[in-house]
Copies of this chain bind each other. A is one copy, B any other.
């Protein structure tokens, strides 16, 4: 049963008040998958893993993408097995056998021998908005993974790897028999990273992608440039980064971008680039001040957003968009459009005169003019993505435009905003509740919000029937956790993202759970296991639930 968010939060907040006890506050589960598969039956039979025995073989179609993924997951299992061996050596043979999962009783079925991967259709080259991520998995002595698409096969391999666990006595690396039939609720499950407020090394971006794949998240939203820095090395305008980056080497070359995109492709993760215009562009002005509007008449007046009447703005933008669309193969392209300093435009004499002549009542109409032109500069195949202001300010938008809702307010307003966008014909991405830079937002708070439920509630409040409300809610494509870069850099970004964004991953993949901490969902205990899993796979994740430990070698 779904309960309102407030009840869930109360539950979550009540838990720490319980009397302390020795040991972890929330003991971890073992071998539970995050995000939770939609249909999963666990069997009592279990198998040990031996790297000299176990193999993964393809039975249906195959391709380099699948073969390299199989190699990667074989390596995950081997490395976890090695970790178990090192922990076993540390723990000693007799340590901590209380739970005794490793005890080899009647349910023990010997070594797991193989996973057969049965891919039914030819591989696609790039992950895309409509990709099929469904898979079926049966774990037994000879396990089978079936999927129509290579993307489903990747998701199934991740589930398969997560079902293995190190026993609580550190003596064995095992997997229970199970059957799984799984697919995502939302097609767009993303994370925004911001490389303009602080530069992030390419290896951090790759590690973020690794972590996304572990969470079956499928979109890296790359907020590439902003007011503070322009780290993108444009082929046509190299001066933008030469003068607009924090330092000459804190930049992304075309080769860097191709590396990240390829790393993501191999893991079924789309990379959607954002070129945020016409605001958030002050760094363009270090080398090209003429592109920015003066906020006043004086030559010394500070400069603000891109100048919406300046032809050079559109020619520069067109060239940049062409370059970036060549580097980022995904059809979705994020043009930003948030927080445009309309006050600045309203102080600019040329723009004041233009607005007067054209009977514009506010600079919002200049924003509409700008965005209308900018959107036309995208390739015809493009699916434009914009921040909610572009919708709020009345910019005419095509039905293939996706509007990302981000403003903080409250869940009632979020529902209404999303419903308005949907009724206007656009589709929606939701981020408002998932701003990772808001330190007050715990994973429990992020876990308690489901955008489709908010839309359905808003629709019902306006008189829609249950079926109509559900149909409207379907227009929410998904959402993104947002890791804005003001207060994070390579030192702290991973632990600021994980495992809080894990909560978002599960909301977007699985059914919202009946209760956060305990109950059938048991999310806290599963997240305790999952955070440790992340660390064992090289992703720094901070403690989610208070006192405890993650056994690492």
Q: Which chain A residues have a beta carbon within 8 Å of chain B's beta carbons?
A: 19-25, 90-92, 95-96, 196-199, 227-230, 244, 246-250, 280, 282-283, 285-286, 302, 341, 439-440, 485-489, 491-492, 494-495, 535, 540-543, 546-551
Contact = CB atoms under 8 A, between A and B. Distances in A.
A282 B547 contact: no
A228 B491 contact: no
Nearest to A304: B19
Contacts of A550: 489
Nearest to A535: B491
Contacts of A25: 228
Contacts of A229: 22-23, 547, 549
A440 B438 CA distance: 10
29 contacts: A20-B227, A20-B228, A21-B227, A21-B282, A22-B283, A22-B286, A23-B228, A23-B229, A23-B246, A24-B246, A25-B228, A90-B247, A90-B248, A90-B249, A96-B248, A197-B546, A197-B547, A198-B543, A199-B549, A246-B548, A246-B549, A247-B551, A250-B549, A489-B543, A489-B550, A491-B541, A491-B542, A492-B492, A492-B542
A91 B247 contact: yes
A6 to B, nearest CB: 21
**A286, A489, A551, most chain B CB atoms within 10 A:** A489
Contacts of A246: 23-24, 548-549
A532 B543 CA distance: 26
A156 B198 CA distance: 33
A17 B239 CA distance: 29
Nearest to A201: B552
**A488, A494, A542, A551, most chain B CB atoms within 10 A:** A542
A440 to B, nearest CB: 7
B302 A19 contact: yes
Contacts of A440: 439-440
A540 B490 CA distance: 9
A249 B551 CA distance: 9
Given A24-B228, A197-B546, A440-B440, 7 more contacts: A19-B341, A21-B282, A22-B230, A92-B248, A439-B439, A491-B535, A492-B492
Contact of A91 (B95, B228, B248, B341): B248
B485 A282 contact: no
Contacts of A485: 547
Nearest to A487: B543
Contact of A487 (B244, B489, B540, B546): B546
Given A25-B228, A228-B547, A540 B492 contact: yes
Contact of A228 (B22, B280, B551): B22
B488 A542 contact: yes
A486 B96 contact: no
A298 to B, nearest CB: 16
List the 7 closest pairs (A to B, CB-CB), nearest first.
A20-B227, A246-B549, A228-B547, A492-B495, A197-B547, A439-B439, A90-B249
A234 to B, nearest CB: 16
Contacts of A248: 90-92, 95-96
A20 B550 CA distance: 41
A247 B25 CA distance: 15
A495 B20 CA distance: 27
A98 to B, nearest CB: 11
Contacts of A91: 247-249
Given A22-B283, A91-B248, A495 B491 contact: yes
A484 B260 CA distance: 38
A548 B439 contact: no
A256 to B, nearest CB: 15
A285 B92 CA distance: 23
A221 B133 CA distance: 52
A200 to B, nearest CB: 11
B542 A486 contact: no
Contacts of A250: 549
A359 to B, nearest CB: 30
Nearest to A279: B20
Nearest to A90: B249
A285 B230 CA distance: 58
A248 B540 CA distance: 23
**A227, A283, A535, most chain B CB atoms within 10 A:** A227
Contacts of A23: 228-229, 246
A204 to B, nearest CB: 13
Nearest to A439: B439
A24 to B, nearest CB: 7
A286 B98 CA distance: 14
A282 B20 contact: yes
A483 to B, nearest CB: 13
A90 B245 CA distance: 14
